[in-house]
Each structure stands twice: as structure tokens, then as C-alpha cells.
Amino acid sequence: MTRIKTYAVLATLLSITCDAEVPKGAGALLGSWEFDSGESMFDGAMPYRSGTYTFSNTSEGVRVVAHIIEGNGQVLHFEYVDRQDGTFVHVTGNPFYDSESTQWSGAGVATRSEQRNGKVTGKTDMTVSMDGKSLTASASRTLPDGRRYISKIVWRRR
């Protein structure tokens, strides 16, 4: 009987420890992230030269600011405030999508649906590692010129 209680206590502690490593929902993304070129892959679009993402809490939702420099030197700077309630919100400055909606399916797992002119053009599956130090964003979308774009972009927490 004592052995069973000990195992139950250990299982509970292990569960609490695992849950504590990655905050739930958007909390897993909060902070700043830097692009990792060595771990990322691009097919059908220009790879990045460098990039940062910053996620911060506001009274309206999670504010997302991205600053990316593509391989050809073109700067992409876009922003939005995700309400975290499943509704699409306006994205300013992104040439690939003008609105987005992020849905959380786990502690550090989310899917962002992307629209351009009211039509869904892509999705990005985002996963924060258990230790919270990396973010992998796997995207599939149709670019404005009709080409298909697939990427796996790895971000490291700053």
C-alpha cells in the first residue's frame, strides 16, 4: 500500500513538473524569438537571412511583432493582436496574409489559419519545445502569385 501511494505521489509530481515547463496556450509563446537558419527549411519561397518574433500580453490579446529579412534583403515587418478567441484579426504589413486566427490544441501547440482578402490561403502549425527554448513553425500556404510555399522555421528563445 505504501508503495502505491509513493508511486501516485511521484506520478503527480512528474505531471506537475511537465506541465510547468511549457505554459498553457499563448503563454508558451510570450517573449522574443530569433530565427535559426541551420534548422529551418524553405520550399517555394525566399529563405530568411534573419528574423525576430516578439509576443507580449495586452488588454486586447497577444501582440505579435515580426521583423524578418529575407535572403534577398527584403524586409518584412508585420504586426497583429491575436484575441485568442478563434476570430480572425487584421494583420498589418504581411504580404502573404492580411488576417489570422490562432487556435490552441495543447500546452505549447497551436495552429494559425491565415487569410488574404477573406479567403484562407494557409496554415502554420506551431509547437513550443517542452523546455520552452525553441519554437517550430511548419507552414503551408499559397502565395499571392499562386505558388505553393512550404516551410519549417525554427525559432530560439532569446
Q: How far is CA 61 from the centre of its chain?
A: 15
pLDDT tens for 140-158 read: 999 999 999 999 999 999 9
Contact indicator for 76, 70 with CB cutoff of 8 Å: yes
Could you tell me the three cell numbers for 37? 537558419
Question: Does CATH place domain 24-157 in 2.40.128.20?
Answer: yes
Contact indicator for 144, 45 with CB cutoff of 8 Å: no
- E strand segments, the chain: 31-43, 48-57, 62-70, 75-82, 89-90, 99-106, 109-116, 119-128, 134-142, 148-157
**How many Cβ atoms are within 10 Å of 116's Cβ, its own excluded?**
19
Contact indicator for 37, 47 with CB cutoff of 8 Å: yes
Model pLDDT, residue 84:
82
Q: How far apart are CA 142 and CA 126, in angstroms?
A: 18
pLDDT tens for 40-55 read: 999 998 999 999 999 9
Please, what are the averages of pLDDT over each run of 10 residues along the chain (158 residues)? 46 41 75 98 95 96 97 97 91 97 92 97 97 97 95 98
